[in-house]
Chains A and B, each alone.
Chain A
Amino acid sequence: MRDRFALFALAGLALMVAAPFLLQAVLPANQAQFWTANVLGRAVVFGIIAMSLTFLATYGGFISLAQMMIAGVAGYTVAVFVEGAVPRIVGGLGYGLAIPLGVLAATVMGLVVGAISVRTRDIYLLMITLALSMGVFRFVETNIAWFNGYEGIRNVVGPELFGLGFRDPWLFYYVALGTAALLLAGVLYLVRSPFGLVLQGIRDNPRRVAALGYDVALHRIAAFGVAGFIAGCGGVLATIYNIGISPGSIGLGATVNVLIMSVIGGLGHPVGAFLGSLIFTVFDTFAANLYDRDRFNTLIGAVFLIIVLVSPDGVIGIGARLRRLLGGSKP
């Protein structure tokens, strides 16, 4: 079963690697470029942020609404410290330093969120992480001196690599895809490590985990730290994708979008985050052509409802369901 999954995962990765070439073969050049950067690239970036949520939910049983805010902490850290951002808040750092600093800040924020929420579960955990998100959002929105308030910070263009600007659609896409693949592989490695197994133990039975001699709080906080690291990587990429960051990108709407992506994809496996974010992004991008730009929320809401009704474990649950329906092997 695990071997078959690895095969699927590799096939999926190969497809994603080949996608820009395939798109170029079937679409006019400007459309292929648009699909590569603005649909697939964006889906991968937000998939990373959604995966930080599904990692916590799938293996720890924690639904955190703080992940978009944590991604924003990484984005804002880069924007505040990097040279060339407008307006200049601190500046002076190159991307080689600003990006690791951003990811580090997100990891620390993840640890802080984990420590604050360490005693809560279920709906209370949801509420406390939402409250932290909204607190940071309001703080950033009203603070001019550090975060330029409502307008945010612009011109975060990303580093130059191989003589190409980071905004080059192909370069951006492959960097995002490589980051996502590494993070996904890291998550899959981690969940079979002692830490990952204990985390799943906490999901199933925290009392027993403590009775076996483990410090439940320590493992919980560390899990939020790992999720913060993942969200931070996504946050840096999202900030460069948007050439800047403003409070809107960590507001309630963005927070809920990440949750919707995760649930559409399914919480059974971390790869679901990417499927969910791809579906979300396609609808987000083409809602205007399909229906009406202003009705995007109705549309995505309907898609959300249909998927959740047909398959409560999201898109990744549909495959298993089909196999069962067709009388195939047991799940």
Chain B
Amino acid sequence: MVPAIRLTGVSRRFGALQAVRDVSFDVQPGERRAVLGPNGAGKTTLFNTICGDFPPTAGTIQLFGADITYLKPHQRTRLGIGRTYQTSLLFNGLTVLDNLFVAVRGLRCNRFSFLRPSRGDDGAAKARELADRMRLSHLLDAEVVNLSHGQRRQLEVGMAMAGDPRVLMLDEPAAGLSPGDRPELLKLLRELPRTLTLILIEHDMDIALPAADIVTVMKDGEVVVEAAPDRIEDDPVVQAIYLGAPGEGIH
């Protein structure tokens, strides 16, 4: 089977800092992959190279067999990658509905249009449906700047889902969520269709482990462990990283 994402020797250097070092792994279609690791492990940098914010300094990235290493972000999105950001990147001056509407139309061939959509256009209907799925339908006309942090995180996921991506990349979806909001998010993640390939960066093991099929642990830009979730908590290397080997913070 052609992997959904194949990373081969991906490295990214910022000046003297080697943020990601020779990372290679495959993610199969439909797989849920969690990427764990302490702060500064290179998780978000790896994410950004996969999504095209900047190219890797070495290595190649394939999406369903096609080389996307040097494509621009919007081109990758058109090939089926959807993503969220660690800090919500939303359109603060627009309403929830307009945010989702813009997101829904991003992959349509008439995405560049000076004309308001006709009555038959299903863009708005699809945006409402997404709001419903993200439990935001009571806030359609609220300006995004007025949303709570939890609602912003939900909208963030909704916007990444809007283009029906084949690969969904979530960068710390639980970041800053209150303990009460976390089970809700986990439920939302588990409701995602199995046809979707999911790559998830997460600090919170309570979110990452139940949501994942395979967990990749990174440290100092390198992959140190790759294992099933039930083996992760017992793994000596992971314990050393997360539970306080000398010189390591607790996350």
Contacts and interface: CB of A to CB of B under 8 A. Distances in A.
B170 to A, nearest CB: 13
Contact of A213 (B78, B91, B115): B78
B116 interface: yes
Interface stretch (A203-211, A234-242, A296-304): A203-211
A56 B83 CA distance: 28
A214 B114 contact: no
25 contacts: A190-B114, A193-B115, A194-B102, A194-B112, A195-B114, A197-B98, A198-B111, A198-B112, A200-B98, A201-B94, A201-B102, A204-B94, A205-B90, A205-B92, A207-B85, A211-B51, A211-B73, A212-B162, A213-B78, A213-B111, A213-B163, A214-B74, A214-B112, A215-B112, A219-B112
B104 to A, nearest CB: 9
Contacts of B73: 207, 210-211
Contacts of B53: 207
Contacts of B98: 197, 200
Given A197-B102, A211-B83, A216 B90 contact: no
Given A201-B102, A212-B77, A212-B162, A193 B112 contact: no
Contacts of B92: 204-205
B89 interface: yes
A212 B103 contact: yes
A194 B92 CA distance: 17
A324 interface: no
Contacts, number: 91
Given A197-B98, A208-B159, A211-B74, 10 more contacts: A194-B113, A198-B102, A198-B111, A201-B91, A207-B89, A211-B77, A212-B106, A212-B162, A213-B107, A213-B163
Contacts of B116: 189, 192-194
A218 interface: yes
Nearest to A219: B112
Q: How large is the interface on A (under 10, 10 to 19, 20 to 34, 35 or more residues)?
A: 20 to 34
Contact of A193 (B103, B114, B159): B114
B101 interface: yes
Interface string B104-142: 011100111111110000000000000000000000000
Given A212-B102, A212-B106, A194 B117 contact: yes
| B78, B89, B90, B110: most-surrounded residue (chain A CB, <10 A) | B89
B72 interface: yes
A114 to B, nearest CB: 14
Interface residues of B, number: 35
A216 B72 CA distance: 11
A38 B113 CA distance: 39
A197 B89 CA distance: 16
Contacts of A209: 102
Contacts of B244: none
A329 to B, nearest CB: 16
B93 interface: yes
A208 B111 contact: no
A214 to B, nearest CB: 6
Interface string A144-180: 0000000000000000000000000000000000000
B90 A208 contact: yes
Interface in A208-259: 208-216, 218-219, 222
Contacts of B117: 194
Contact of B91 (A189, A192, A205): A205
A125 B110 CA distance: 29
Contact of B90 (A203, A204, A219): A204
Interface of A: 189-190, 192-195, 197-198, 200-201, 203-205, 207-216, 218-219, 222
Contact of B106 (A192, A204, A213): A213
A215 B71 CA distance: 13
Given A204-B93, A218-B112, A194 B72 contact: no
A207 B91 CA distance: 11
Nearest to B111: A214
Nearest to B74: A210
Contact of B77 (A192, A193, A213, A219): A213
A101 B115 CA distance: 24
B161 to A, nearest CB: 11
B163 A212 contact: yes
A165 to B, nearest CB: 35
A19 B123 CA distance: 43
Contacts of B82: 211
A260 B105 CA distance: 37
The 5 A-B pairs with the shortest beta carbon distances in the complex, nearest first, are: A212-B106, A213-B106, A213-B77, A208-B89, A204-B91
A200 B115 contact: no
Contacts of B93: 200, 203-204
A219 B111 CA distance: 10
Contacts of A204: 90-94
B90 to A, nearest CB: 7
Contacts of B85: 207-208
